[in-house]
Structure 1
Amino acid sequence: MASSHHIVLVVFFTLFKFCLCRNSFSNTTLAGFAPATATWYGPPNGHGTDTGACGFGNVGNPPYNSLIAAGNQALYQNGKGCGQCYQVKCNSNPMCSGNPIKIRITDECPGACNAVPVWFDLSGIAFGALAKPGQDNALRNAGKIQISYQKVGC
């Protein structure tokens, strides 16, 4: 007959293994990043739009430094998402660096952007910043890519 200590260990490792398997299939990775779609708008080396739905003005200057995005309704939240910061990174394309960048929501991406749970429409500069050195134009030519994101403090 097994001791209660052995039974506890068996139960613990069974549950631990279940948790690892369950987390590997969830939308959120163990590192805290979740999947999203990304596109870009404005000029390829531009900072998006100054007016934007959030009304922040010239987003080419600090604290935005052109690293901005229009978010779908899940991010924009009828304006409540204005100014929220996210880390985004791209691993889905050979031109992606895999390095995260920090962006802010400054605009709304309506319509087709709401066809998926989370969609970032990045400025041309922000989209290019997801690429390996010298691959920014090639990545922008991909148009629509899959990224990972997590909400962070500004």
Structure 2
Amino acid sequence: MLRIFPSTLFFLVIIVTLSLLCQATNNNGWVTDAHATFYGDLKGNETMYGACGYQDLHKQGYGLNTAALSTALFNHGLACGSCYEIQCINSKWCKPGTIQITATNFCPPNFTKTTDIWCNPPQKHFDLTEKMFLHIAVYQAGVVPVQYRRVPCVKRGGIKFLLQGNQGWLLVLVFNVAGAGDVNNVKIKASNSNNWVQMSRNWGQNWQVIQNLVGQGLSFQVTTSDGKMVQSDNVVPPNWQFGQTFEGKNF
């Protein structure tokens, strides 16, 4: 009779776990245990607004190269703005080549269904625009297995700051972020002060500060998930108004 001691069992568990991780991620950074579907139409009529706070993906520079992420990838909104390369694999419906997309929305789970549960945890899933899906698979597939990996975001121009709120509360949508793409810290400095003030995440990539900053010039420090920071000094003039967008530096 074969006896397995506790220490031996522990090492067996470690070996199996490492083996599974190696199967899911290959040497080029690809994660292979994911799927993709699509929504909307070829014109992207359903790409406006979403859980990241971006208000018009066409006007704000994201276009149709976007995706809604499942719970496992969305990470409570922290993934907003991150960029991915995606490739269809292991299906007769696949087309050659890859696509690159920006995470701009959330694909919510549906726990009332026993089928079509691609966005339920713990599944890694990308709900693409129809145009992007058709770059990697045929329409009839509906859903295909994919592999994906994080890639640097390439954006035109600088980081954009959309100012919203009221006299006692400033809400800033930060978008068009290059590099890592996903912002995890924002600070603001008014022209009548030398101090940088910490902003808090309201939702998605909307950042807030409870102060009356009307009539003051504004500067921003934006830090992404890789720890890099870019500072845009006096990017907003003192005569700014709510609803206006201003452009700063980019990574």
Length-normalised TM-score, structure 2: 0.45
Provide runs of 4+ in structure 1 moved above 6 Å. Answer: none
Identity between Structure 1 and Structure 2 (%) = 33
AA of the residue aligned to 1:105: A
Match of 1:74, SS state, is: helix
As a proportion of its length, which structure holds more helix? 1
- The match for 1:50 among 45, 48, 51 is 48
- The match for 2:104 among 93, 103, 106 is 106
Deviation at 1:81, TM superposition (A): 0.8
**1:121 match:** 127
Higher relative contact order (CA 8 A, sep 6+): 1
AA of the residue aligned to 1:31: N
- Structure 1: which 5+ runs fail to align? 1-21, 132-138
**1:149 match:** 148
1:23–1:54 distance in 2 versus 1, CA, 3 Å: closer
As a proportion of its length, which structure holds more strand? 2
Match of 1:58, SS state, is: coil
**Contact 1:101 1:129 (8 Å CA) reproduced:** yes
| Partner Cα distance (2:81, 2:140) in 1 | 28
| Partner Cα distance (2:95, 2:58) in 1 | 23
AA of the residue aligned to 1:148: Q
1:25–1:151 distance in 2 versus 1, CA, 3 Å: closer
1:92–1:129 distance in 2 versus 1, CA, 3 Å: same
Match of 2:133, SS state, is: helix
Instruction: Please say which of residues 61-70 and 118-127 is displaced more in the overlay.
Output: 61-70
- Does residue 29 (structure 1) correspond to residue 35 (structure 2)? The answer is no
**Contact 1:68 1:122 (8 Å CA) reproduced:** yes
Length-normalised TM-score, structure 1: 0.71
Instruction: Please say which of residues 58-67 and 26-35 is displaced more in the overlay.
Output: 58-67
1:92–1:116 distance in 2 versus 1, CA, 3 Å: farther
Root mean square deviation of aligned Cα: 2.2
Write the deviation string for residues 20-52 of structure 1: whole angstroms up to 9, x where unpaired. xx5896211222211211111112x13342011
How many residues are matched?
125
Tell me which structure has the larger Cα radius of gyration.
Answer: 2
